[in-house]
Amino acid sequence: MERRKLDELLRSVRSGETTVEVALDRLSHFPLVDLGHTRLDTQRELRCGFPEVVFGERKEPGELVEIARALVARHARLLVTRASAEGMAALRAALPDCQLHARARAVTVNAPERGSGEGNVLIVSAGTADGPVAEEAELTARMLGARTEMLNDVGVAGLHRLLAQEERLRAANALVVVAGMEGALASVVGGLVKRPVIAVPTSVGYGASFGGLAALLSMLNSCAAGVTVVNIDNGFGAGYAAALINQGNRAALREDSKA
């Protein structure tokens, strides 16, 4: 149950418009819904500010549909990551209002438009091959209410492409830097800005990149202060963290304006 809906319910009980019995019935599946194969955490939004996100990989299409329907019935938003082609097709058939994001391998309900939201989270990717992970990060941050922008194909092999965008880099509240190969882009960006940089190593690269391990180790050993690193191909984790940083920054600005 969303915070807003729970607040309305409690106020309705206090005013006498809703009986305690009716309220208990509406809360009968709180804080979880047991689907047999999955136990949904319906309290997640109250604790963390966003409903439970569904990791679609290795879930059967039928399971995904049951999970998605249960979440949509209780929340205004839905985010499914790493969905297979079969899972995406099943969700499209079951939820006509959902949006498919094929490159990011994600499915959403009520995703905000890119450019809406608050603050500024900038997703920076080294090359076109890093696009799927970068788009997963952007979509995640946008679903959490951040205004997002993408800066694509600015890897260090053509450093002038990145330096030409220095103004955009400095304007962001938080940056997600997505790179494979040797993963050097995160260190370069970290040396140009005074905002947190979340580095995402991708599994893009030739044999000696070891499926992203080389980029991961390079980013972990970055000499640029302010660079933190998530796991290989973890665009979701990076986008989520960037959105939380962005929220904190916006809240601080609002408090400063009141002082």
Q: Does residue 5 sit within a domain?
A: no
**DSSP alpha helices (H): ranges in 75-192?**
85-94, 131-143, 159-163, 166-171, 185-190
* Residue 21 pLDDT: 80
Is 134:178 a contact under the CB 8 Å cutoff?
A: yes
Mean pLDDT of 26-35: 67
Domain termination residue (choose one: 109, 130, 149) = 109
Residue whose C-alpha is closest to residue 193's, from 168, 214, 222: 168
Tokens of 86: 């079969």
Position 16 confidence tier, pLDDT thresholds 50, 70, 90: confident
- If one counts the domains in the chain, the total is 2
Reported as a single tens digit per residue, the pLDDT across 132-157 is 999 999 999 999 999 999 999 999 99
Distances (CA, A) of 259 to 245, 248, 249: 21, 17, 16
Same domain, 216 and 127: yes
Please provide residue 119's backbone torsions phi and psi, each rounded to the nearest 5 degrees.
Answer: 75, -150
Statement to judge: residues 84 and 150 lie in one domain? no
The reported pLDDT for the residue numbered 190 is 96
- Whether residues 92 and 152 share a domain: the answer is no
Model confidence pLDDT, tens digit, residues 160-196: 999 999 999 999 999 999 999 999 999 999 999 999 9
Residues 52 and 166 in one domain: no
Domain termination site, one of 87, 109, 131: 109
CATH number for 210 = 3.40.50.1970
Q: Is the pLDDT of residue 3 over 80?
A: no
Same domain, 241 and 133: yes
Domain boundary among 56, 89, 109: 109
pLDDT above 90 (res 11): no
Clarify whether residues 193 and 231 are in a common domain. Answer: yes
Co-location of 39 and 136 in the same domain? no
Name residue 131's amino acid: G
Short-list 205, 203, 196, 207, CA closest to 229: 196
> pTM of this prediction?
0.84
Q: In this structure, are 61 and 182 located in the same domain?
A: no
Q: Is residue 147 a contact partner of residue 121, using CB atoms and an 8 Å limit? A: yes
Which residues form the domain of 48? 31-109
231 shares a domain with 137: yes
Counting beta carbons within 10 angstroms of the beta carbon of residue 100, is it exposed (0 to 12), middle (13 to 18) or buried (19 or more)? Answer: middle
What value does the mean pLDDT take over residues 241-253? Answer: 81
